[in-house]
Amino acid sequence: MIENLLKESQVKELRRMLEQCSRVVLTCHVRPDGDAIGSTLGLAHVLNSLGKQARVVVPDQPPKNLAFLPGYDDIVPVSKYPEYGARLMKEADLLIACDFNVLKRQDEMAPLWELTSARKIMIDHHEGPDNFTDLQISYPDMSSTCELVFRLLAALGLYETMSLEAATCICTGIITDTRNLTVNTKHLDLYYIMVALLKKGVPKRLILKETLEIKSADAMRLNAYALYERLKVYRDHRAAVVYLTKEDLAKFKYERGDTEGLVNQALELRGVIYAAFLREDANSVKVSMRSLGSFPVNKMCAELFDGGGHKQAAGGEYKGDIMDAVKRLVDNMPRYDELMKQAADRLKEEGYMLN
Ligand code: 5GP
Ligand code: MN
């Protein structure tokens, strides 16, 4: 029921590299999300079951809403433990990079790659991967890196080896990147993958609660404030923009993860085809975009905010004032009107009630 969509030669090479390794570092992008942590931790559990020494070393602290994941406490954020992180990188004979396609996404951790003589594998689902590993396993059609990890493990004959802990991590990445299978589910057999994970006893309700359904009172008020005070709709461009300044964030005691989902709420507006959320972080403005249909927010993020991602979910950064970032986005909207109209026409053909 689960199709084999993988290139046989890659699976073979992966098998060989896994057989030969003993100390593995698994890593992901900065500001890790459920898919980044789910894929690295999930693979680490499987590799540890196979008798390898696998550690998850990440650029910075993962969000607290992933603390329920088995193995979370053993993750090594380089921002907090730079020397330990560097030592693990030096000692590794295999480095597996999950959920990112350009080394720049490792931020401050990227220079550590020069310390290691380990062989390197990329496992990722972003378009246009850079060539910075010995083996590049890149499938942009996949919903999530975790979907790809599941398929790889199945192809390697390791489904039985996948513990409940591993399955829980892998399921979490699929659920967060697809918002519980509501977006970005190209391969229908992803549902069968979910069945295979649920058969392991994965606590789906817990995952949903912890990743998509829970907020502190401050976070809930911050989101309500953002929608009330800081949301603007640009009807002519079928766009919505919401932003939060440093002062707004301080007022509601912002913690990482508190604004997860806000950009999706902006996209819920009828008639809107793409939405952006801009947040003024310590040293830069973080941009997060979402879209419907064929409108490519990854193109917009790449061209305007030195970023990237997927057609319907992308992000980037702006070095400078938040209001300048908002202005940059709004001033450039006309450039994307043609793509917006194409996307709108196609959505209407499909029965969407855009007005
Ligand atoms: P989010 O909006 O949830 O932060 O990210 C959505 C998607 O865009 C994710 O797939 C993520 O990997 C990608 N993305 C987010 N921020 C950046 C960025 O600064 N640069 C690039 N290249 N991709 C990003
Ligand atoms: Mn992902």
CATH code where residue 276 lies = 3.10.310.30
Do both 63 and 106 map to the same domain? yes
For ligand 1, mutation pick of 141, 284, 288 (most atoms within 8 Å of CB):
288
Do both 97 and 182 map to the same domain? yes
What total number of domains does the chain contain? Answer: 2
> How high is the pLDDT of residue 355?
81
Separation between Cα atoms, residue 67 and residue 73, nearest integer Å? 7
Do both 22 and 156 map to the same domain? yes
Q: Is residue 355 part of a domain?
A: no
Give the global pTM.
0.96
Which residue, by CA, sits nearest to atom 7 of ligand 1? 314
For ligand 1, mutation pick of 29, 108, 281 (most atoms within 8 Å of CB):
29
Q: How many CA atoms lie within 13 A of 189 on its CB side?
A: 11
Ligand number nearest to the C-alpha of 259: 1
Q: Is residue 225 part of a domain?
A: yes
Q: 13 CA to middle of ligand 2, Å?
A: 23
pLDDT by residue (tens digit) across 54-91? 999 999 999 999 999 999 999 999 999 999 999 999 99
Q: Is residue 2 part of a domain?
A: no
Q: Is residue 306 part of a domain?
A: yes
Do both 194 and 336 map to the same domain? no
Do both 159 and 221 map to the same domain? no
* Boundary of a domain, candidates 168, 193, 212: 212
Q: Is residue 3 part of a domain?
A: no
In this prediction, residue 309 has a pLDDT band, given cuts at 50, 70 and 90, of: very high
Separation between Cα atoms, residue 49 and residue 30, nearest integer Å? 27
Do both 29 and 159 map to the same domain? yes
Which residue, by CA, sits nearest to atom 14 of ligand 1? 315
Do both 245 and 320 map to the same domain? yes
Q: Count other C-beta atoms under 10 Å from residue 3's C-beta.
A: 10
CATH number of the domain at 187, please.
Answer: 3.90.1640.10
The domain in which residue 253 lies consists of 217-349
Q: 124 CA to middle of ligand 2, Å?
A: 7
Name the token pair of 314: 């992308």
pLDDT by residue (tens digit) across 315-326? 999 999 999 999
Mean pLDDT across 97-116: 96
Question: Do 37 and 19 contact (CB within 8 A), yes or no?
Answer: no
Q: Which residue has the tokens 């990188």?
A: 89
Ligand number nearest to the C-alpha of 142: 2
pLDDT by residue (tens digit) across 115-165? 999 999 999 999 999 999 999 999 999 999 999 999 999 999 999 999 999
**What are the E-state strand segments in the chain?**
23-27, 53-58, 76-77, 94-98, 119-124, 135-138, 231-234, 239-244, 274-280, 285-291, 308-309, 313-318
Separation between Cα atoms, residue 139 and residue 126, nearest integer Å? 7
Question: Do 311 and 289 contact (CB within 8 A), yes or no?
Answer: no
Do both 328 and 239 map to the same domain? yes
Question: Do 312 and 184 contact (CB within 8 A), yes or no?
Answer: yes
Residues framing ligand 1 (Cβ under 6 A): 33, 105, 288, 307-310, 313-317
Do both 205 and 224 map to the same domain? no
* Boundary of a domain, candidates 191, 212, 233: 212
Percent of the chain with pLDDT strictly greater than 90: 99
Separation between Cα atoms, residue 352 and residue 355, nearest integer Å? 9
CB-based contacts of 343, cutoff 8 Å, min separation 6: 273, 291, 292, 293, 294, 295
Q: 140 CA to middle of ligand 2, Å?
A: 10
* Boundary of a domain, candidates 212, 238, 260: 212
Do both 208 and 295 map to the same domain? no
pLDDT by residue (tens digit) across 280-308? 999 999 999 999 999 999 999 999 999 99
Do both 188 and 304 map to the same domain? no
Q: Is residue 340 part of a domain?
A: yes
Q: 175 CA to middle of ligand 2, Å?
A: 10
> Is 95 in a helix, a strand, or coil?
strand
